Amino acid sequence: MAHGRHFLFFEGEMITDIIKYLMNYKFMKTLGILGGVGPETTARVYLSIIDLVRKNKSEKYPPIVVYNLPFPFVIENEAIVQGKNSEKMIPYLIEGAKILEKAGASFGILPCNTLHKHINEIRASVKIPFLSILEETFLSLQSLKVKTVGVLATQTTVDSKIYSSVLQKNTINILYPTKTEQDEINKIIIQLLNGGKNNLQDRKIETICLSLQTRGAEAILLACTDLQLATIKISDLVKIIDTTEILIKASVRELART
Q: What is the pLDDT confidence band of residue 5, given thresholds at 50, 70 and 90?
A: very low
Q: What mean pLDDT do residues 34-39 have?
A: 87
Query: How many other CB atoms are found less than 10 A from the CB of residue 238?
Result: 18
pLDDT tens-digit profile of 38-59?
A: 788 899 999 999 999 999 888 8
pTM for this one?
0.83
Q: What is the pLDDT confidence band of residue 4, given thresholds at 50, 70 and 90?
A: very low
Correct CATH for 2-132+246-256 of 3.40.225.10, 3.30.70.1400, 3.30.70.1250, 3.40.50.1860:
3.40.50.1860
Domain boundaries defined on the chain: 2-132+246-256, 134-242
Judge if 2-132+246-256 and 134-242 fold alike in CATH terms: yes
**CATH fold label, 134-242:** Rossmann fold (3.40.50)
CB 138 within 8 A of CB 65: no
pLDDT tens-digit profile of 147-171?
A: 999 999 988 899 889 999 899 888 9
pLDDT tens-digit profile of 165-221?
A: 899 888 999 999 999 999 999 888 888 777 777 778 888 999 999 999 999 999 999
Three-point CA angle 161, 219, 173, nearest 5°: 40
Please say if the pLDDT value at position 19 is more than 60.
Answer: no
Please say if the pLDDT value at position 7 is more than 50.
Answer: no
Lowest mean pLDDT segment, chosen from 19-23, 77-81, 132-136, 253-257:
19-23
Residue 47 neighbours by CB under 8 Å, 6+ apart: none
pLDDT tens-digit profile of 233-242?
A: 676 778 899 9
